[in-house]
Amino acid sequence: MQFNKNTGIELIKLTIGCVLYALSVVLFIDPVHIIPGSVTGIGVVVKALTGFPIGMLSIIINVPLVIIGTIVIGKKLLIYTGYSVFLSSVLIDAWSFMKPFTENVMLASIFGAVVMGLGLGLLLDAGGTTGGTTVVGRLILKKYPHIPMGNILLIGDFIIILVGSMLLRNWELLLYSLINLYICVIVINKVMYGFKVDSLSIIVTEKKAELENAAKEMLQGRIWQEESADSRTLVFITRKTDVSKLQRLAEKYDEQASCATFDLDYSFGEIK
């Protein structure tokens, strides 16, 4: 793997992601025994039952998973995931002395999910993982890239949460952990997909040519336009932040224009 500007940016994102992930575990998740899923969720349960460090267990479990992922995906996974697993695990154990941000289980589950989702989203977007179900998710994403990563993690993490709650004999913990997982998945998907190209607009207008040219000029490099057989219909994919601009533009050129906008779960192409 060659080191370049993009590699440097990815490593920075990995590092920030690891820091956020570790902080979410130390300050929110572990103190109230919320089970976040993946290897960390297993670690929380094992620590609650035996006192064994979460970070150390994470490294032990993830070694074979990283090896398998490297064989299937390539050396980049070994470097990025190895770095992510090692750094996040070391930080979790090294920062275990820190006092929890809150002892309220509901607040911990919500804010822990937000911080963890931000960290995981950065990790996954940079090509890394924290091991466990995220490695499995990366393998699935390689074959089915249209499936949102957060949704892939949902199934495996739910199983871990269910089994962990049974072992700890705490069904309220199951509910809090599910809240944590749900919010975390939303944040992961937002970080990976939601701040990129995510809106499809269909405009029906009598002034198709004028509006098309004006839209391309206004949204330089941030628009993808589909040719339509209908002489009055324009189909655009834009950033969500550009939707209101596109709608105002349509009203400017044709007060009788009709516009419908939809959120996209996944898209790729030329839009920057």
Instruction: Quote the percentage of the chain above a pLDDT of 90.
Output: 32
Give the residue-averaged pLDDT of 164-184: 91
pTM over 0.85: no
Q: Is the pLDDT of residue 178 over 50?
A: yes
Q: What is the structure's pLDDT at 26?
A: 96
Q: What is the pLDDT of residues 46-89, one digit of tens each?
A: 999 999 999 999 999 888 888 877 787 777 667 888 888 899 99
What mean pLDDT comes out for the span 118-144? Answer: 81
Q: Considering all CA atoms of the chain, what is the largest pairwise distance in Å, rounded to the nearest integer?
A: 71
Domains and CATH numbers, the chain: 5-194 (no CATH), 197-263 (3.30.70.120)
Average pLDDT over residues 1-22: 85
For residue range 215-256, list pLDDT tens digits in order: 888 876 556 665 555 678 888 887 777 888 888 888 888 888
- pLDDT band, residue 17 (cuts 50/70/90): very high
Q: What is the mean pLDDT of the chain?
A: 83
How many Cα atoms are found within 13 Å in the side-chain-facing hemisphere of 39?
Answer: 27
Q: Do residues 248 and 219 touch, judged by C-beta distance below 8 A? A: no
Residues 171-192, mean pLDDT to the nearest whole number: 89
Per DSSP bridges, beta strands 197-204 and 258-263 are antiparallel
* Model pLDDT, residue 22: 95
Question: What pLDDT is stored for residue 257 in this prediction?
Answer: 86
SS3 at position 270: coil
pLDDT confidence tier of residue 272, bands split at 50, 70 and 90:
very low
19 CA to centre of own chain:
16
Question: HSE on the CB side for 72, CA within 13 Å?
Answer: 15
Report which of residues 209 and 5 the model is more confident about: 209
The answer, yes or no, to whether residue 190 has pLDDT greater than 70, is yes
